[in-house]
Structure 1
Amino acid sequence: MKIDNLDSMIRGWFVGDFEPNVLKSDQVEVGVKSYKKGDYEERHYHKIATEITVITKGKVKMNGVIYSEGDIITIAPFEDTDFEALEDSQNVVVKIPAAKNDKYLGKYGENNE
């Protein structure tokens, strides 16, 4: 049995095609992401990966919609979103497939395509 700790991972990502990891995979990425109230991520999209976000604690706002514990949000390729933690929050994020350099800032089609 091998034991790792989430604190030794980078920004909560622990499965994927990056280091460190607990499972190397070019098929999927999984992370447990923790946010403090007020944390914000800029609007972005992926061209390849579908991103599934499970809110496990707290309240967040994505695209102007408030989500809370238990909500599962699936974002398809080319759908854009921003993210704001309305409370201290924790999410589990799955990106499939794992795709390096697949995060693009802004809204798809605006000044970038």
Structure 2
Amino acid sequence: MRKVRLTDFKRGWYVGGFAPTLYKTTDVEVAVQTFAAGEKEPVHCHKIATEITVIVSGRARMNTMTLEAGDIVELSPGEYSDFEALEDTVTTVVKIPGALNDKYLLEA
């Protein structure tokens, strides 16, 4: 058995083909992320990966959809979305497959 802390990892990503990681794989990426109210992520998509986001606690907005604890959003490859924490929010994110360098910002 091995004990680590979520803070040991970058932005909550603890499974995937990056470093540091708890479990190195390119099959999937997993993160638990904490956002303060008002924090935002830029509009982006993934060309290869499907991204699944679970709102564990708090409230957030993705595109025009307001999400609360227990809501799950699936973004298909090529589907753009932004993210804004409407209050302090915790998410769990799964990307399948774990494709590195697969984040594309929306060009203005």
Matched letter for residue 67 of structure 1: L
Matched letter for residue 21 of structure 1: T
Any idea what SS the aligned residue of 2:11 has?
A: coil
How many angstroms does 1:60 deviate by? 0.2
Matched letter for residue 38 of structure 1: G
Matched letter for residue 102 of structure 2: D
Counterpart of 2:78 in structure 1 is 78
How many angstroms does 1:64 deviate by? 1.0
State how far apart, in whole Å, the 2-side matches of 1:85 and 1:103 are. 20
Any idea what SS the aligned residue of 1:11 has?
A: helix
Counterpart of 1:57 in structure 2 is 57
How many angstroms does 1:67 deviate by? 0.3
- In the alignment of these two chains, the number of paired residues is 108
Structure 1, unmatched stretches of 5+, are none
Structure 1 runs, 4 residues or longer, greater than 4 Å off: none
| TM-score, length basis structure 1 | 0.93
Structure 2, unmatched stretches of 5+, are none
State how far apart, in whole Å, the 2-side matches of 1:42 and 1:2 are. 34
**Percentage of matched positions with identical amino acids:** 50
Any idea what SS the aligned residue of 1:23 has?
A: coil
Superposed CA RMSD in Å reads 0.9
Matched letter for residue 26 of structure 1: T
Matched letter for residue 71 of structure 1: D
